[in-house]
Amino acid sequence: MKGTLANPYSIGEEMVDGDWAMTIDSIDLDANAEIAATDSIISKVAPDPGNTWVILTVTWTYNGDEPAEGGTSFKVVNKNWNDAFDTDNR
């Protein structure tokens, strides 16, 4: 199945969920300094040793004919995100 750890989407490849499309335009795999420089709650939390903050630049597109309602269920999956967001590494 496309969109799993075994068969991931590539950077720049469009993912579609109903009327919504998402494309990951770029990834900064070492965003520690950029996150620390922001004025946000997360900037005050250093990543655990051996880990780093990651920033994704994403383009969302609504392709429906009616006004957008509800939303979508896109998730980012990473094999090393244990306990970061939930137990499914999303």
Three-state secondary structure of 10-73: CCCCEEEECCEEEEEEEEECCCHHHHHCCCCCHHHCCCCCCCCCCEEEEEEEECCCCCCCCCCC
pLDDT digits (tens, 9 = 90+) for 18-34: 888 999 999 999 999 99
The pTM (predicted TM-score) of the whole model is: 0.67
Domain regions of the chain by residue span: 14-62
- pLDDT band with cut points at 50, 70 and 90 for residue 87: very low
In 1-90, which ranges are continuous DSSP H helix? 32-36
How many Å apart are CA 77 and CA 66, to the nearest integer? 30
Residue 49, pLDDT > 70, answer yes
How many Å apart are CA 61 and CA 79, to the nearest integer? 27
Which pLDDT score, from 0 to 100, does residue 82 have? 55
